[in-house]
Structure 1
Amino acid sequence: MGLFDFFGGSGPEKALKLKPKVTQKYGDPASRQKAIQQLGEMKYPEAVGVLMARFTITVEPLTTDADEKEHVFELIKGFGKDAIPPIQDFLRKSDQAASWALRLLGELLPEPEIIGTCVDTLTHLSTHYTRDPEKKVVLLHHVTGREDPRIAPAVLPFLEDMSDDVKIAALKALGPFKHEPAREPMLKLLTAEETARRVQTAALAALHDSGFGVQGFREKVEALLVEPYVLDRTGVIRRQA
């Protein structure tokens, strides 16, 4: 008998039925808080999924909202390793609260496994439309600065995202990797007529970090250079002192 088999009187169905109370923004907060506490005591994986939904809403006053979310965080953490699959499922399916999911995984998994979850989720997102770019940005920020060969191929498709914030986050993540397949896409993004100026600035920084040459794009790149960036004789973007 496993951990989730001890609570016969409060099964998965009961956990799922509590979701409307957990996500109730208005009315008596005591009802929401009672449901949260009940879920924390159930020890069913479905309870974790319902508790995660609390991170997707904001209630007034904000001090109550912050306190409740921290309480939910601690309750989920208390599930231990059994919480990992429901959190990963939430991260994959929900467009909201990705930062909370990653924070929880940070308490429950070693960093290489968290990176694997991020890479898997980014790979899924790269082929599925999402209206809100926040989740992509959160995931891209999390993998930025990490040294893992799985990251660059997963990030590369986001140079073509519709959101400028996503493009900028992808450029920041890609630059230090010196990932050769990213050279031409970064140059195309930099030199495209429709590219916003702030994205062009991020592209210049990423190309500088990568050390890639601008062969095939030199004339267009020269026209877009801004301080502190210059192009040396070999076609590599340098930063002036």
Structure 2
Amino acid sequence: MGIFDFLGGGSGPEKALKLKSKVTQKYGDPTTRQKALQQLGEMKFPEAVGVLLQRYNITVEPLTTDADEKELVFEFIKGFGKDAMGPVTDFLRKNEAATSWALRILEALVPQPEVTTIAVDMLAELSGKYMRNSEKLVVLLHYVTGKADPRIAPTVLPYLEDMSDEVKLAALKALGPLKYEPAREPILKLLANKEIARRVQTAALGALQESGFGVQGYRENVEAAMAEPYFLDGNGLVQRRA
């Protein structure tokens, strides 16, 4: 029998799971919640990590307390080392909120390329699925932007057709510097679609300029959608004014 059995909570993992209601308690005395976080941080069971992560699913007042507690959870989970990888990755997969915290924790546990692989895998898994909240997709897309991984471009490309403008914008930002040829026509089609929001069209112009793609086959559409600071040169390339 372990020490936690004597403390009136069953085995260590069982005690960790029983603390979930206190960790996610938004109202009442905050010391109850903070004590539960401290207890979980001192455990060494994967179940404790899973419960600690639930703190990221609520926001409490005042916001300074909320931020302090979330930072404390970050430090506690870091202390679990690679034992936290499974619960954190599982949390990232199953939750629509707190994606940025999950990625930050993963970066503290393993080298950045491994986190990029996880993010790309997640984007591939979510592609084509309905998301009530687009925040998760946007955070994942922002995370892979500027990263070196050959899977990023083909994985991001389908998100140009997402219903959310925020997702389209994030996908365009990620694709622009990658110069991924299969993205040329989908980007041009965004410009040709008169129902697309103006800010998405402007972001598409930016992606074309970064990619260096010509506008052949879509010149009239591009000219009609042109907006400062971009212009179309004589070679059919989108340029940006200095």
Shorter-chain TM band: over 0.9
Moved over 2 A (4+): 5-14
Kindly provide the amino acid, as one letter, of the partner of residue 122 in structure 1.
Answer: L
Please give the secondary structure, in 1, of the residue aligned with 2:84.
helix
Please give the secondary structure, in 2, of the residue aligned with 1:193.
coil
Matched, 1:107 2:108: yes
Residues 15-30 of structure 1 correspond to what in structure 2 (within 5 A)?
15-30=16-31
Residues 1-241 of structure 1 correspond to what in structure 2 (within 5 A)?
9=5, 10-241=11-242
Kindly provide the amino acid, as one letter, of the partner of residue 128 in structure 1.
Answer: K
Q: Distance in 2 between matches of 1:216 and 1:120?
A: 34
Please give the secondary structure, in 2, of the residue aligned with 1:227.
coil
User: What is the CA distance between 1:6 and its match in structure 2?
Assistant: 7.3
Q: Distance in 2 between matches of 1:182 and 1:30?
A: 52
What are the Cα deviations for residues 29-58 of structure 1, in whole angstroms up to 9, with x where unaligned?
Answer: 121112111211221111111111101111
The answer to whether the Cα contact below 8 Å between 1:7 and 1:42 also exists between their aligned partners in 2 is: no
Q: Distance in 2 between matches of 1:148 and 1:173?
A: 12
Kindly provide the amino acid, as one letter, of the partner of residue 100 in structure 2.
Answer: S
CA distance 1:153–1:141, shift in 2 (3 Å): same
Gap regions ≥5 residues in structure 1 = none
Give percent identity, aligned residues only.
70
Q: Distance in 1 between matches of 2:173 and 2:160?
A: 11
C-alpha RMSD over aligned residues: 1.6
Q: Distance in 2 between matches of 1:83 and 1:7?
A: 22
Q: TM-score, normalised by structure 1?
A: 0.94
What are the Cα deviations for residues 142-198 of structure 1, in whole angstroms up to 9, with x where unaligned?
Answer: 111112211111111111111111100110000110111111111111221210000
Structure 1 window deviating more from structure 2 (231-240 vs 109-118): it is 231-240
Please give the secondary structure, in 2, of the residue aligned with 1:238.
strand
Please give the secondary structure, in 2, of the residue aligned with 1:81.
helix
Kindly provide the amino acid, as one letter, of the partner of residue 77 in structure 1.
Answer: K
Q: TM-score, normalised by structure 2?
A: 0.93
Gap regions ≥5 residues in structure 2 = 6-10
